[in-house]
Amino acid sequence: MHELYHEYILRREKELRESKQENDMPTYTLKDTKTNSTWDVICSWDELQTTLNEMPDLVHVIGMPKIVHERGTNMKVDDGFREVMSKVKEKHRVNNIKDY
Is the per-residue pLDDT at 86 higher than 60? yes
What share of the chain in percent tops pLDDT 90? 17
Please state, as a whole number, how many other Cβ atoms lie within 10 Å of the Cβ of residue 88: 11
Could you tell me how many residues make up the chain?
Answer: 100
Hey, where are the domains in the chain?
Answer: 2-61, 69-100
3-state secondary structure 5-69: HHHHHHHHHHHHHHHCCHHHCCEEEEEECCCCCEEEEECCHHHHHHHHHHCCCEEEECCCCCCCC
Please state, as a whole number, how many other Cβ atoms lie within 10 Å of the Cβ of residue 59: 14
pLDDT digits (tens, 9 = 90+) for 16-54: 666 655 457 788 999 999 999 998 888 888 889 998 998
Which of residues 10 and 36 earns the better pLDDT score?
36
Handedness of CA 54, 55, 61, 67 (dihedral sign): negative
Between CA 31 and CA 59 the distance in angstroms is 5
Least confident of 6-10, 20-24, 44-48, 94-98: 20-24
pTM over 0.75: no
